[in-house]
């Protein structure tokens, strides 16, 4: 591993900070160097500190410990990510014989110098009790790989030398902090402490030295592991599989969905098909090797202890479904047995977490990870990949030795770990995948905005790349770009629609919310209506709805095979379905056709937990600079016929409805979210979003 420390860079970085403690500037700089190495820390798997002095409001000098705050990423951490605590007080806590986790956290919070700072790391007392100025702690892959083997102490000494201390697995918190400092006081010449199944601490009086020691020891471990790999690896037996992503992922996703009487909580799926991962899954002994436990218990809240293995090669869809069902049921039974064993042995009262796997290994297909959100699934994927590759390298050295399940349980059901999963409220559509067609227009922008605000991952499709990009760019100013997808798709082209659906499945695992919204307007009396134009409008407004619904049905049906996953089709019809206008026959009749398709779909798809509803909107002109394609066409004619300018036309439609209000794209989005949230057991319904147009009341 490369040592990236640069005196020039630290000087430049420190200069860029205003009114920042010099020690804290150094701490931030070297912490970032550590955090930018995935092989050192992964999603919160490490912490750093520095002991320093500050001047209080009253002018007193105070010894403080700056330590990484919870929720901050070491790779991008800022000085404010290190809460300052009263160091001398923390050090006095060592005299206690015991300290509960809750009281420990209380002591941290009550002895912070800034009440608005983030919560300090749960390993704060390790940093406080050790005497060194700078302390670095990581869960380095190479170090943890060596600790998860038979006779790890002897191997670690051989590889890393005799200037290290070694401790067995100990729960983080007060007990670990006392053991670490006791070990150091017995071996005061050591440069690092290795915690089996956990990670490594390095320490020194300067930030450069503490960081350099970390890189030194991790490099020794990496070089040793690399030296044990075969000089020439045999050609992989992996061959391209015929397993269907479009078939398997929706079945798995539906089976994972957690349901109760009123809600359906799907999981976001990520599929990793890296060639190295695929090759690992075909090795001799792969199932035993890669379904073993986590590298460090810190990962268990993200990945659970064991992956699920599914052998799906050479199976029909019916056989695939049965194998997935059996695998998930056996996994759930095994997890329940583990939970019951531990609560019985420990005489505890705990509420069991869900029994669904977070990592699924499928030879020939790849590594699937799951999460209630895309972020959770990505964190799980990152950890799972590092774990699998560490085990792959480690098996050339010695058998893998997973940690006892009692320790795993302690960590998985530790309140201070579980709180990491509960940060922030769960949004109503978290984990759900939505596709909105006609994505380059104003209404799609409003629908997309409200779906994103409710937690969904949203794909927008359109034929016009420029308009589509404009909407996506606008939404990315408000929401994470990773949750917004763009598909260049012609809704009248069956192949294009199928291809678009396949892309969504490959990226997310399935589909929950389909909003057929693409539409084309044309102004002409029936007498003057061009036949080709009538066909074109009908092709988009009716056939386009038919095409996307038909393409989504297999996805929805597969998601419903092994569970009660709920899906939604929400058609953006039009006020014109019930109240058409003269010279608007092509649009009105084609929208009425789409509306009727929705009613039929509601009847046909109810057995598969698909709810189909319609929204009838009226007079939505634009959204934050995104114009409506319909009003781009219709507007000039309507203004000429009424001798109005654009603002006058908007005012005309405001005054036309009963509530005398402007109807916005976000209002349509709210209606979509209402249906998609399953707040009522409703299908086949029509919801007007028009301010109240009496002639358009559903009947």
Positions of E strands within 91-183: 134-138, 164-167
Residues 6+ apart with CB under 8 A from 628: 441, 442, 443, 620, 621, 622
The pLDDT value given to residue 235: 46
The pLDDT value given to residue 265: 85
Task: Indicate whether 236 pLDDT > 60.
Answer: no
Which residue segments constitute the domains of the chain, with CATH numbers given? 7-227 (3.40.225.10), 245-421 (3.40.225), 433-631+663-696 (3.40.50.720)
Encode pLDDT of 376-397 as tens digits.
Answer: 999 999 999 999 999 999 999 9
Residues 6+ apart with CB under 8 A from 137: 46, 47, 48, 123, 126, 127, 199, 200, 201
Q: What is the mean pLDDT of the chain?
A: 93
Cα 616 to Cα 165: distance, rounded to the nearest angstrom = 70
Task: Flag whether the pTM goes above 0.95.
Answer: no
The pLDDT value given to residue 505: 97
The pLDDT value given to residue 630: 75
626-627/264-265 β-pairing: unpaired
Cα 446 to Cα 451: distance, rounded to the nearest angstrom = 9
Task: Indicate whether 40 pLDDT > 90.
Answer: yes
Q: Which two tokens stand for residue 65?
A: 């410990």
CA-to-CA dists, residue 485 to 262, 267, 447, 488, 500, angstroms: 29, 18, 14, 10, 11
Task: Indicate whether 27 pLDDT > 60.
Answer: yes
Torsion angle of C-alpha atoms 23, 24, 26, 31, degrees rounded to 10:
140
CB atoms within 10 A of CB 534: 18
The pLDDT value given to residue 19: 84
Contact 62, 113 (CB under 8 A): yes
Encode pLDDT of 467-522 as tens digits.
Answer: 999 999 999 999 999 999 999 999 999 999 999 999 999 999 999 999 999 999 89
Cα 287 to Cα 361: distance, rounded to the nearest angstrom = 9
pLDDT bucket at 44, cuts 50 / 70 / 90: low
* SS3 track for 532-563: HHHHHHHHHHHHHHHHHHHHHHHHHHHHCCCC
Encode pLDDT of 396-418 as tens digits.
Answer: 999 999 999 999 999 999 988 77
């Amino acid at each position: 591993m490369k040592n990236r420390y640069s005196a020039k860079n630290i000087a430049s970085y420190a200069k860029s900070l205003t009114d920042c403690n010099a020690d804290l500037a150094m701490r931030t700089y070297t912490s970032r160097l550590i955090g930018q190495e995935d092989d050192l820390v992964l999603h919160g798997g490490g912490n750093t500190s520095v002991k320093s002095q500050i001047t209080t409001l009253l002018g007193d000098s105070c010894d403080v410990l700056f330590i990484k705050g919870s929720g901050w990423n070491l790779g991008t951490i800022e000085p404010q990510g290190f809460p300052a605590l009263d160091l001398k007080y923390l050090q006095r806590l060592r005299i206690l014989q015991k300290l509960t986790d809750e009281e420990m956290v209380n002591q941290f919070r009550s002895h912070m110098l800034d009440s608005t700072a983030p919560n300090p790391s749960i390993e704060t007392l390790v940093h406080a009790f050790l005497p060194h100025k700078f302390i670095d702690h990581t869960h380095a892959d190479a170090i943890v790989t060596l600790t998860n083997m038979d006779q790890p102490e002897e191997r670690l000494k051989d590889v890393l030398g005799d200037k290290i201390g070694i401790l067995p697995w100990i729960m983080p918190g007060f007990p670990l902090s006392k053991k670490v400092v006791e070990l150091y006081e017995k071996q005061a010449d050591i440069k690092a402490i290795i915690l089996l199944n956990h990670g490594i601490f390095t320490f020194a009086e300067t930030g450069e030295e503490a960081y350099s020691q970390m890189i030194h020891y991790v490099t020794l471990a990496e070089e040793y592991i690399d030296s044990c790999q075969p000089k020439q690896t045999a050609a992989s037996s992996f061959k391209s599989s015929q397993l269907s992503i479009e078939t398997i992922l929706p079945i798995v996703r539906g089976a994972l969905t957690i349901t109760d009487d009123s809600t359906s909580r799907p999981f976001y799926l990520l599929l990793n098909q890296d060639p190295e991962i695929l090759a690992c899954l075909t090795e001799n002994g792969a199932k035993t090797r890669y379904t073993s436990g986590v590298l460090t218990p810190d990962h268990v809240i993200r990945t659970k202890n064991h992956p699920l293995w599914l052998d799906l090669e050479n199976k029909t869809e019916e056989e695939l479904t049965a194998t997935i069902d059996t695998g998930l049921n056996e996994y759930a039974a095994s997890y329940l047995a583990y939970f019951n064993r531990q609560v019985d042995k420990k005489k505890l009262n705990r509420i069991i977490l869900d029994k669904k796997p977070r990592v699924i290994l499928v030879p020939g297909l790849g590594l699937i990870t799951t999460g209630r959100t895309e972020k959770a699934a990505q964190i799980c994927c990152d950890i799972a990949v590092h774990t699998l590759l560490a085990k792959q390298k480690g098996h050339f050295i010695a058998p893998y030795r997973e940690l006892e399940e009692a320790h795993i349980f302690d960590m998985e059901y530790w309140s201070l770990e579980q709180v990491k999963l509960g940060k922030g409220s769960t949004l109503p559509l978290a984990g759900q995948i939505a596709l909105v067609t006609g994505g380059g227009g104003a209404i799609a922008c409003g629908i997309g905005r409200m779906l994103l605000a409710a937690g969904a991952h949203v794909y927008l499709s359109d034929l016009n790349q420029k308009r589509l990009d404009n909407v996506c760019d606008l939404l990315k100013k408000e929401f994470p770009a990773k949750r917004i997808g763009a598909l260049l798709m012609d809704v009248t082209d069956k192949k294009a629609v199928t291809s678009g659906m396949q892309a969504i499945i490959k990226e997310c695992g399935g589909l929950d919310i389909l909003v057929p919204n693409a539409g084309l307007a044309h102004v002409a009396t029936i007498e003057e209506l061009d036949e080709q134009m009538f066909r074109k409008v009908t092709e988009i407004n009716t056939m386009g709805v038919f095409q996307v619904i038909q393409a989504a049905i297999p996805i929805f049906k597969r998601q419903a095979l092994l569970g009660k996953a709920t899906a939604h089709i929400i058609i953006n019809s039009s006020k014109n379905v019930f109240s058409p206008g003269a010279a608007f026959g092509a649009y009105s009749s084609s929208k009425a056709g789409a509306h009727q398709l929705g009613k039929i779909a509601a009847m046909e798809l109810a057995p598969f937990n698909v709810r189909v509803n319609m929204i009838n909107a009226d007079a939505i002109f634009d959204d934050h600079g995104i114009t409506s394609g319909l009003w781009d066409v219709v507007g000039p004619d309507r203004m000429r016929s009424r001798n109005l300018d654009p603002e006058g036309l908007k005012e005309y439609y405001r005054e036309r409805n009963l509530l005398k209000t402007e109807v916005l794209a976000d209002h349509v989005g709210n209606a979509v979210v209402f249906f998609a949230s399953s707040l009522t057991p409703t299908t086949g319904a029509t919801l007007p979003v028009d301010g109240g147009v009496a002639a358009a009341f559903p009947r």
